[in-house]
């Protein structure tokens, strides 16, 4: 760690964190030194000996005489000098010591990271003392040659909307080009509200006006729902559910849903105006979101949840709620079975399975979600969720998906699995066994997609000194079968990404059950191109994502599922995008 004095205060010291790693033959043909910048960390200015009446279980890392130690495993020599042990401030510790959480800097990170890395290189590596230890070259950071990177075709950015119209950016295009496909079954769609009585005159009334009549504003108006997603906003007020307080919300909703009479050939979607604020600390109050969502899902009712504080606060409507409406209505269309947009590419009947994961702190276990796509258009046909160690159930769900795929397409040439981590023999063996029982001797290609953006390995487009972010679709080889994929909104030289769209690259690793198959760079590019395009099928928002929905959607299922009381998802929950 290197001290960053200008950001330090009387309460804490701020340090830049760096990692140095030696490797061989990953990017070049010889030894390599990897320098990565891991962001900043804060260390409390007082030692543990001066922190009184504190829960020491919250300590994780401490700094002692310039070295980092895990609190739980610190040696006796460190235990003996508490006056020299300073705690590293985790997010859990900060509020206990009256230190505010960091405010994220959403500006372009590429210039900041490059400047910090170059500064470290010039001060500590490009000096005679270090070169006596490791004789690094005088050329500075490595510059890949043309064979080590390529840019995916710009046509991979194309999305298809209503009537075959195409475009690249949903947040700009959808309003004018319309949804690719409207929901077809059932024939009718009805909406109703779930809300706290105190929100009826404010938040609920405002939401009704926005969906029914549009958002009225001189500069940034937004159309009514029927004009935007082409689905009529038909309100069934007989289904509205009003509760008195958060404490009786779940009971009130459960009784109302249980006793409701649902019309045939009709899909219902509940608009739940959630009165619990985003920063609520009481877990019981927070959890009404999951409990009400579960009640509705197991009664075949979809839901869209909107925080009341986002609609109405301090006696006034939110003057920026027009920025929420595109995301809300796109998600509603997708939940109802519509297709907001699809990939503009010829159909290739290939079975793609996505497996994402979420670690539940409350359950102290990992849950994995799976998603099945029957072709490369990004149309999903099924979801499920299991405990992280339940590889048998995961393999069984894949077997079922393969069987359905073959029933429709008669054969399968290969199975592609997008996995959230490196897949080991333990996970792969049941999947191979299940394919064997189906009589399929087909290649299985595993595309490992690291869901956290890479900071260890970065690339910079130095030809554009002000921007530095490589073009979207840039692929750089960083290992034997490892790659960086830059996935952002810099499609061309004139592109102007928003602040939050300066994504760092995604790390991708490939493996295959057939030796030599991945030596074909055209196949490799096709597999990575598929990851790239699937990131454009995200329907919870119109914003560009860096991760493909094959990882993102299952992770979203796995994030909600641990809060449910039922052991299994209902069939209804395996067939639609209820979790958006």
Q: Is the pLDDT of residue 529 over 80?
A: yes
**Mean pLDDT value across residues 71-85:** 96
| Choice among 37-41, 238-242, 264-268, 348-352 with the minimum mean pLDDT | 348-352
**Pairing state between β 474-477 and 149-151:** antiparallel
- Give the three-state DSSP class for 474: strand
Rounded Cα–Cα distance for residues 302 and 324 (Å): 19
pLDDT of residue 5: 52
Q: pLDDT category, 2, cuts 50, 70, 90?
A: low
pLDDT of residue 319: 85
435-482 pLDDT per residue, tens: 777 777 788 888 999 877 677 889 999 988 888 999 999 999 988 899
**Mean pLDDT value across residues 391-401:** 77
Q: Is the pLDDT of residue 6 over 70?
A: no
341-392 pLDDT per residue, tens: 988 877 666 778 888 777 776 667 777 777 777 666 667 777 888 777 777 7
pLDDT of residue 374: 62
Domain 182-335 class in CATH: alpha beta
How many Cα atoms sit within 13 Å of 575 on the Cβ side?
11
- Average pLDDT along the chain: 87
- Which residues share a beta bridge with 358? 367
**Percent of the chain with pLDDT strictly greater than 70:** 96
Buried b (16+ CB within 10 A) or exposed e, 499-515: eebbbbbbbbbbbbbee
pLDDT of residue 335: 94
**Mean pLDDT value across residues 111-139:** 93
Domain 342-564 has CATH 3.30.420.10: yes
476-511 pLDDT per residue, tens: 998 889 999 999 888 888 888 888 888 899 999 998
From-to residues of CATH 3.40.50.2300 in the chain: 182-335
pLDDT of residue 4: 56
pLDDT of residue 377: 67
Helix axes 249-259, 288-297, angle to 10 degrees: 10
pLDDT of residue 348: 66
How many Cα atoms sit within 13 Å of 392 on the Cβ side?
0
Q: Please identify which residue in the block is written with the tokens 């009387």.
A: 10
240, two tokens: 């509205």
pLDDT of residue 455: 78
218-240 pLDDT per residue, tens: 788 899 999 999 999 999 999 99
From-to residues of CATH 3.30.420.10 in the chain: 342-564
Higher pLDDT, 303 or 421: 303
Higher pLDDT, 86 or 372: 86
* Cα angle 224, 226, 231; round to 5: 150
User: What's this model's pTM, rounded to 2 decimal places?
Assistant: 0.84
Q: Which of 398, 451, 446, 402 is nearest to 425 (CA)?
A: 446
Q: Which of 337, 414, 410 is nearest to 379 (CA)?
A: 337
135, two tokens: 């004789």
| Choice among 207-211, 398-402, 496-500 with the minimum mean pLDDT | 398-402
Burial of 369 per CB tally in 10 Å (0-12, 13-18, 19+): buried
């Amino acid at each position: 760690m290197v001290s960053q004095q200008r950001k330090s205060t009387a309460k804490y010291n701020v340090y830049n964190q760096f990692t140095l790693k030696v490797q061989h033959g990953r990017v070049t043909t010889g030894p390599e030194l990897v320098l990565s910048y891991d962001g900043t960390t804060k260390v409390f200015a007082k030692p543990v000996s001066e922190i009184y009446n504190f829960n020491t279980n919250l300590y994780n890392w401490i700094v002692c005489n310039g070295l980092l130690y895990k609190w739980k495993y610190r040696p006796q020599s460190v235990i003996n000098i508490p006056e020299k042990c300073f705690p590293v401030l985790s997010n859990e510790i900060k509020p206990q010591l009256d230190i505010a959480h960091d405010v994220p800097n959403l500006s372009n990170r590429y210039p900041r990271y490059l400047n910090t890395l170059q500064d470290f290189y010039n001060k500590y590596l490009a000096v005679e003392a270090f070169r006596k230890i490791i004789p690094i070259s005088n050329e500075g950071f490595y510059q890949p040659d043309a064979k080590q990177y390529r840019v995916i075709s710009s046509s991979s950015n194309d999305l298809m909307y209503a009537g075959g119209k195409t475009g690249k950016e949903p947040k700009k295009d959808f309003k004018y080009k319309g949804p690719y496909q409207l929901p077809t079954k059932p024939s009718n769609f009805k909406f109703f509200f779930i809300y706290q009585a105190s929100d009826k005159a404010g938040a609920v009334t405002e939401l009704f006006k926005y969906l029914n009549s549009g958002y009225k504003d001189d500069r940034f108006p937004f159309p009514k729902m029927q004009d935007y997603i082409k689905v009529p906003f038909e309100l069934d007020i007989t289904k509205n559910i009003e509760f008195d307080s958060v404490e009786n919300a779940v009971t009130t909703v459960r009784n109302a849903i249980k006793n409701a009479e649902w019309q045939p050939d009709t899909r219902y979607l509940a608009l739940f105006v959630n009165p619990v604020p985003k920063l609520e600390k009481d877990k019981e109050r927070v959890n009404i979101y999951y409990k009400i969502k579960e009640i509705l899902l197991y009664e075949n009712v979809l839901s869209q949840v909107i925080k009341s504080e986002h609609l109405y606060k301090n006696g006034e409507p939110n003057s920026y709620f027009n920025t929420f409406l595109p995301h809300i209505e796109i998600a509603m269309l997708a939940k109802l079975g519509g297709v907001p947009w699809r990939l503009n590419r010829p159909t290739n009947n290939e079975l793609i399975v996505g497996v994402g994961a979420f670690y539940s702190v409350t359950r102290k276990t990992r849950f994995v979600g799976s998603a099945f796509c029957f072709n490369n258009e990004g149309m999903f046909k099924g979801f499920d969720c299991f405990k992280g160690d339940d590889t048998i159930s995961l393999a069984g769900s894949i077997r079922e998906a393969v069987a359905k795929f073959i029933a429709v397409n008669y054969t399968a040439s290969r199975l592609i699995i997008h996995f959230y981590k490196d897949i080991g023999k333990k996970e792969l063996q049941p999947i191979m066994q299940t394919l064997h029982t189906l009589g399929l001797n087909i290649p299985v290609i595993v595309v490992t997609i690291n869901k956290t953006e890479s900071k260890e390995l970065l690339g910079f487009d130095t030809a554009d000194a002000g921007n530095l972010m490589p073009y979207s679709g840039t692929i750089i080889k960083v290992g034997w079968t490892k790659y960086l994929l830059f996935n952002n909104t810099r499609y061309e030289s004139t592109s102007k990404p928003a602040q939050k769209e300066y994504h760092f690259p995604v790390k991708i690793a490939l493996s295959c059950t057939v030796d030599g198959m991945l030596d074909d760079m055209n196949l490799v590019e096709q597999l990575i191109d598929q990851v790239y395009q699937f990131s454009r099928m995200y329907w919870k928002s119109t914003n560009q994502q860096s991760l493909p929905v094959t990882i993102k959607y299952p992770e979203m299922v796995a994030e909600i599922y641990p809060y449910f009381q039922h052991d299994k998802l209902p069939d209804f929950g395996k067939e639609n995008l209820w979790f958006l």
